[in-house]
Structure 1
Amino acid sequence: MSLEPPPPAAGGATIDVHTHVVPDGLPFGVTGDPRWPVLRTGPETGDVLVDGALYRTVARTAWDLEARRADLPGRGCHAQVLSPMPHLFSYWAPIAPALDFSRALNTWLADAVRAHPGVFYGLGTVPLQEPEAAAAELATVKALGLSGVELGTNVNGVSIADPRFRDVFVEADRLGLAVFLHAFQPPMAAAVPGPAASAVCFPLDIALAVAGLIANGTLEASPTLRLLASHGGGGLGLALPRLIHTWRTKAPMRKRLPTPPEVVARRLFYDILLFDPAALRYLIDFVGTGQIVIGSDYPFLDVPPEWPLTDLDLPGAVRLDIQESNARAFLGL
């Protein structure tokens, strides 16, 4: 099997669940601190500025949804789930402007979904720097008609697995909102400077977050939560066997967590963005085909949405579930 992605397939009925936007209009009138991200758009690309310096150059499809929609057929997609570029979480900010910013961002997403029904679905954001406020803001996310929220794995150096964030997950479960958990600012990234930081740290970071949410009982407390782990859960598949062994051999852990870790892990969703057919095969064998969705990190990675799924020999019905039905289940459609 090749580790190089094939050209994108034309046509198809695929929902790409892991995609990002950078809305025009940033920072939505929120001022007072140069760290608020600003988007300066050009004919084909735009520059995201943070603290006056270039943070990232993005393609026009990051903010222009008409151009984005026109790009979908060539990628073999008929729909995408839009979530903010993770840096837009702005967990560093004081809570009042952070709420203003997240509400404006969520409104932009809701308007995009209404303008393109059945083509775009939206996942909003909430200010996790104040977990109580974040949990309360989920009701606004639902009222806007968004399908759920995207949460970062770290909040100012604290893992999302920390019990202080438990009520955010419990409230999302109560409201029936989907949660997309995205690797974000891994503390270990300081040891790996440059472009390799995300390649090395994201798979470790998302694995730590999900395994921690299982071990700390957060997912036990939100048993019907539809949670999607980005990047295929990263190294979670290799971390789980030891967690399972510990649960089976340590009575205090079983008393605290009645549900076996593998049962919890198998009710979560995972995108296919693992870059290796063998890694995707392992994930499918562990969690089952009903929990796998398409994810490409569009428009930031030049990866066909269905790769490396295209390199696996799967029954047609199973492939169709991964292409679309599982995404609809995650979104609660």
Structure 2
Amino acid sequence: MEKPERPDAAAVEEEAEDSAENKRQRKAEPGREIVWRNVALMSLLHLGAVYSLSLLPQAQPLTWLWAYFCFIITALGVTAGAHRLWSHRSYKAKLPLRMFLAAANSMAFQNDIYEWCRDHRVHHKYSESNADPHNATRGFFFSHIGWLFLRKHPDVAEKGKKLDVSDLLADPVVVFQRKYYKTSVLIMCFFMPTFIPWYFWGESLWNSYFLASILRYTVSLNVTWLVNSAAHMYGNRPYDKYISPRENRFVTFGAIGEGFHNYHHTFPFDYSASEFGLRLNPTTCFIDFMCWLGLASDRKRASEQMIEARKLRTGDGSA
């Protein structure tokens, strides 16, 4: 029987080199490089949040209420602040309100206002493309949290540089928060939520830290991420059936009014981010209240005629 021919040593070496080169190319594919530091930190954070649940029975009810209050402040820093005010300029806010929203945004710890708004404007302009930081076409996990585990696709930075963000840099509140962001996060996201229950009603520092800081922070992150993931995949599209964002009531409830996402991507300038005004929209209630106090003004709104015309032209026919 004829023996199989042994492969030439040079051919084996060449094949090994080709294989190594292919691996290097796959690793270097844009937007695919894993950031292990983020993977480790987010894993620890979520493990801490799961552990926090076991502390609920032994914590004081006042601490539960405080953690929820911090969650609302955190959410407003994103929804009324970074999103509706600074990203979309859908209303105007006076200095005291901008200072409050900047502090609340630091409590949210989701990047400083400038970076958050720049990436969000890229998300709207190039939605569902490689330039979208949390491109929903790459799946639920990627658009929810996976985008934080990978290096940004080069298109995100390239397209982001072409956007006009001069309005952000012209706001001294945004510039100040960006300059002292790390310090403000330590104070607003971790120190203050932990200190208040311990100092004022004698809660243990351990319970205060895990419930008002770790659990609250983790929940607020995931609620925000659901706008990027679930609200781009599940729900109806009464305003524009040709885009991915959907109306999602579950997300609306958790994200204090941000789940009317088909409407928002159709009319991004609308301060209410919804056709229905105050309904299921605590953020809109907050902005309206600030206007009543004289701290906000110039709320932009899509007209009823504009909304109905758009429904008839591009909507999916759902209510």
TM beyond 0.5? no
TM-score between both structures, scaled by the size of structure 2: 0.25
Q: From the two aligned structures, give the one with the greater strand fraction.
A: 1
| Higher relative contact order, chain-length normalized (CA < 8 Å, sep 6+) | 2
The structure with the larger Rg is 2
TM-score between both structures, scaled by the size of structure 1: 0.24
